[in-house]
Structure 1
Amino acid sequence: MPVLTDTLTRIGDLSVPAAPVSLGGLPDAELLIAQRQLGEVQRRLSALAASVAGEIAHRSRRDLGAAGLAATQGLRSAEDLIAKVTGGSRRDAHTLVKAAELLPTAPRGDAAPPVPEWRQVIGAAVADATISVEAAGIIRTRLGAAADRADGTVVADAARTLIAAAPGMKLEDLAARASVVRDELDLAGIPAREDELRAKRFLRFTKQLDGMTRVTGLLDQESAAIVVPILDAATSPRRGGPRFVDPTAAQRAEGLMRDERTTDQLTLDVFVELIRNGSRVDDGVLLGDRKPVVRVLVTKNDLENPIRDADGNRIGAAFFEGQTDAVSIGTAERFICAGGAIPIQFDADGRVLNLGREQRLFSEKQRVAMAARDGGCLMCGAPPSWCEAHHIDHWDEHAGLTDIDDGVLVCRFCHLNLHNQKWRIRRDGAEYYLERPDAFGLLRRIPLPSRSPAVERLRQSA
């Protein structure tokens, strides 16, 4: 790979003009290697950028007043100065400054308190380019929310676990994983964190000069669990949602695909139509006694846990389907009180007890159970509302059974890949694996762990 190697060796030489590199002739395997190498270089550059940003922040600290570096440049803060010098955003500059605080080389005064071990672990991982500054920020903020109430050694071990997993994960997946680890470290803090997120919720309409109205807002877990699946269902064919066997549903899906509106425009129109329809009916008629399908997942042990904190909150964790951050047991109890509960029995290995029927398609009850077990697409993590039920032993080719153990949730894209690429998902007890050839044609087994935080909670608390 001489073209890329030469480029990487020259990339730090600012006397050499930057020039595009033609990669059209690179084989697929080498192209992926090139991307991994660039990721390594980016992490190294980010670590160095964080060090420089940290020194700029140190020289711009408030106690220096007008003599601070940022002030002498006519700017209010180090973040403003870094953003101006780099041509980046203030948010990126803030990320660098916060990462710099973790680094072993970070400047610290004599009176500064000792750095906790877990923060040192994260800083060392940034310094040696094991993780990016963005990944470090995620781990720091998640573990920081629990560090004050958890044993320092346990928190440091949790940081090492997340750092080890980070290189093979997208930032979104790392954030979800870090949230689960945080909640395990500090179960008692879940109600407070839930209240904190709920307090941030808002919806704002701002009239613009061009006649449009801008909508901005934030949804807490409970609000998102109600709103997002409804809009997802309305736009599912556009978002890679499940294919449809029912002729009526298939016809509707085809109509949506031909619709000239963008997916975002369609989402807005569906939202407006729901509001319009709701305003036309008498109180209690729109939904009556039936609420939108919102599933809250909680283990029996947590639901019956007699231990409560000082405020009377039951210790434990529950999860809205499709949401990764935990909610309190009190929230789960409220939903169960309003809508009842559907018990789904798991065995000691985390397998749903067989509810199979001798028919081609999985039943709705089976899909509910698979959603609780898998937490979404086992391959890419798409939410359950986007997923189809896949026979791991294909119905036609392998005479597969329509049993829960032999079915998994995968999104439409991954489902098509499984069939078109002749890949297989296999089961070993309660664990599932993707079997696919690597770049050299060798068959590899890739673990497909459950993405359901409730199942992970079940296994850890068993």
Structure 2
Amino acid sequence: MASITDTLARLGDVSTPFTAPAVGSLRDEELLTAQRALAEVRRRLDAVSTAIAGEIAHRSRRELGHSGLAQSQGQRTAEGLISQLSGGSAREARTWVKTAELLPTARIVPEAPPLAPWMKALGEAVAQAAISPEAAEVIRTRLTAAARPGAEDALAEAAARLVADAASLTIEQLVVRASRFRDEIDLAGIAERERELHEKRFLRFTKQPDGMTRVSGLLDPESAAIVIPVLDAVTAPRRSGPRFVDPAEAARAEDLVRDERTTEQLVVDAFVDLVRQGSRVDDGTLLGERKPAVRVLVTAKDLDGRNGAAYFEGQADAVSIATAERFICADGAIPLLFDGDGRVLNLGRAQRLFTEKQRVAIAARDGGCLMCDRPPSWCEAHHIDHWEEHHGRTDVDDGVLLCRFCHLLVHNRGWRIRRTGGDYTLEKPDGDRVIRATALPTRSPALQRMRASA
């Protein structure tokens, strides 16, 4: 087998077909040495790519019009031509072009202002393959924000230190370090930079043809500091989070590790739960006096037969009858029932939802979700006799606390929770489709203590 050194030596020979080497037999140290060597080769290739990109940009400059290199090749911009030729992204092409302006060999545009010495140092570092163009762009953009009269020496010192450190840092780590240098040099500009980031914040929901809704957005640092730790706390056990001494916390961590949902799905469900809980406690400041309600549109025939389709008001895609029942049961959904002629039969009968006092009583009795470890604040009140199907009563005895995920399992899989006196059991089929009953003991420590001392 050819060595990694031989492979690296042949990389530039594009006249022969290339085959990636088999690396499974390499020792650990050989793998690490090979990765370091590849990083050096990549920086050298990037230095050449940057120089070439800069020349393409010069020959494609705007004043040349259609005779410029990019437009003569059918591309509107130099970045478009570079992306096409390299098979890379437009972002990478822009980085090469911007960094090329710093190179010692860069074409000088007469009307362009002279480069500051610290910027020239960045260009020399790229040309010598000491740092990558991406690292140079990170340093350039961060320090440019701190460029003020009288800051030249501080900028030069910061650039030199960042160039020296870049080889041992990831790009993400370099961003953090360069940002700190920027802020140390320009303390007075922190407030303005904070305002600029705050102005960029947004959250957008885009309906997709497949029925999903895409969420995209940007959080400014303050918003991220509020949102991210909360969502991280949900998924920490999945990401080698802290080890828990408390048995309850340790059990919660184990449940999350075994949870069938992906980490990203856990984040979505947690976000939805937080929005739901926030809407419940809003005093009208955010949502106004008329809080939004989820409305489920379904025919009486489909709901009675538990077979068919239901729709959320404002959504075009159908959901299962089981999902409709779950929302009717606990989420404040209003079932708008239609008969065969399209007439609205009813808007739900009185006191379909548990009152706040009833929820308090149920929470005191159950101590949280009876099927997992979620606390009462994360739970919904579930009618053990379904409100529509079994004409269940909204009584404390006939309601139990389930978190949203467990509530979904019960409804969508057709499971039942039954009560015998003050005890509850979950009935669901086992692997052989035989219905098995599993006890659902209370999680309330006060109730456990009372029963133990009775």
**TM-score between both structures, scaled by the size of structure 1:** 0.60
Alignment of 1:40-439 (within 5 A): 40-283=40-283
- Higher relative contact order, structure no. (Cα contacts within 8 Å, ≥ 6 residues apart): 1
CA separation in 1, counterparts of 2:129 and 2:69?
A: 28
Cα deviations across residues 169-214 of structure 1 (Å, max 9, x unaligned)? 1111111000000001111100000000000000011111111100
Task: Answer yes or no: is the 8 Å Cα contact 1:150–1:186 preserved in 2.
Answer: no
Identical amino acids, percent of aligned pairs = 61
Task: Answer yes or no: is the 8 Å Cα contact 1:158–1:181 preserved in 2.
Answer: yes
Cα deviations across residues 13-64 of structure 1 (Å, max 9, x unaligned)? 1112111212222221121111101000000000000000000000111111
SS in 1 for 2:214: strand
Alignment of 1:18-57 (within 5 A): 18-57=18-57
CA separation in 2, counterparts of 1:239 and 1:201?
A: 27
CA separation in 1, counterparts of 2:9 and 2:275?
A: 58
CA separation in 2, counterparts of 1:285 and 1:243?
A: 39
Instruction: Say which one has the larger Rg.
Output: 2
Flag structure 2 segments of 5+ consecutive residues without an equivalent: 287-454
- In the superposition, relative to structure 1, how do residues 212 and 104 fare at CA in structure 2: closer, same or farther (>3 Å)? same
Cα deviations across residues 380-404 of structure 1 (Å, max 9, x unaligned)? xxxxxxxxxxxxxxxxxxxxxxxxx
CA separation in 1, counterparts of 2:44 and 2:17?
A: 21
Cα deviations across residues 262-312 of structure 1 (Å, max 9, x unaligned)? 0000000000001011112242999xxxxxxxxxxxxxxxxxxxxxxxxxx
For 1:225, give the aligned amino acid. A
Task: Answer yes or no: is the 8 Å Cα contact 2:2–2:21 preserved in 1.
Answer: no
Partner of 2:13: 13
Task: Answer yes or no: is the 8 Å Cα contact 1:149–1:186 preserved in 2.
Answer: no
SS in 2 for 1:225: helix
- In the superposition, relative to structure 1, how do residues 194 and 284 fare at CA in structure 2: closer, same or farther (>3 Å)? same
C-alpha displacement of 1:104: 0.6
Alignment of 1:435-450 (within 5 A): none
- In the superposition, relative to structure 1, how do residues 210 and 149 fare at CA in structure 2: closer, same or farther (>3 Å)? farther
For 1:176, give the aligned amino acid. V
For 1:260, give the aligned amino acid. E
CA separation in 2, counterparts of 1:238 and 1:245?
A: 17
For 1:72, give the aligned amino acid. S
Task: Answer yes or no: is the 8 Å Cα contact 1:150–1:185 preserved in 2.
Answer: no
Cα deviations across residues 323-353 of structure 1 (Å, max 9, x unaligned)? xxxxxxxxxxxxxxxxxxxxxxxxxxxxxxx
Partner of 2:291: none
Partner of 1:302: none
C-alpha displacement of 1:149: 4.3
C-alpha displacement of 1:110: 3.4
C-alpha displacement of 1:88: 1.1
Comparing 190-199 and 28-37, the one that deviates more: 28-37
- In the superposition, relative to structure 1, how do residues 112 and 57 fare at CA in structure 2: closer, same or farther (>3 Å)? same
SS in 2 for 1:203: strand
Task: Answer yes or no: is the 8 Å Cα contact 1:197–1:220 preserved in 2.
Answer: yes
CA separation in 1, counterparts of 2:169 and 2:111?
A: 38
CA separation in 2, counterparts of 1:176 and 1:142?
A: 10
CA separation in 1, counterparts of 2:77 and 2:285?
A: 55
Comparing 193-202 and 142-151, the one that deviates more: 142-151
Task: Answer yes or no: is the 8 Å Cα contact 2:54–2:101 preserved in 1.
Answer: yes
C-alpha displacement of 1:244: 1.0
- In the superposition, relative to structure 1, how do residues 229 and 150 fare at CA in structure 2: closer, same or farther (>3 Å)? farther
Partner of 1:398: none
CA separation in 1, counterparts of 2:256 and 2:71?
A: 55
SS in 2 for 1:104: coil
CA separation in 1, counterparts of 2:214 and 2:234?
A: 22
C-alpha displacement of 1:109: 2.6
C-alpha displacement of 1:234: 1.1
CA separation in 2, counterparts of 1:152 and 1:174?
A: 21
**TM-score between both structures, scaled by the size of structure 2:** 0.61
C-alpha displacement of 1:112: 3.2
CA separation in 2, counterparts of 1:149 and 1:75?
A: 40
Task: Answer yes or no: is the 8 Å Cα contact 1:99–1:133 preserved in 2.
Answer: yes
Task: Answer yes or no: is the 8 Å Cα contact 1:117–1:153 preserved in 2.
Answer: no
C-alpha displacement of 1:73: 1.4
How many equivalent pairs are there?
A: 286
For 1:175, give the aligned amino acid. V
Comparing 171-180 and 146-155, the one that deviates more: 146-155
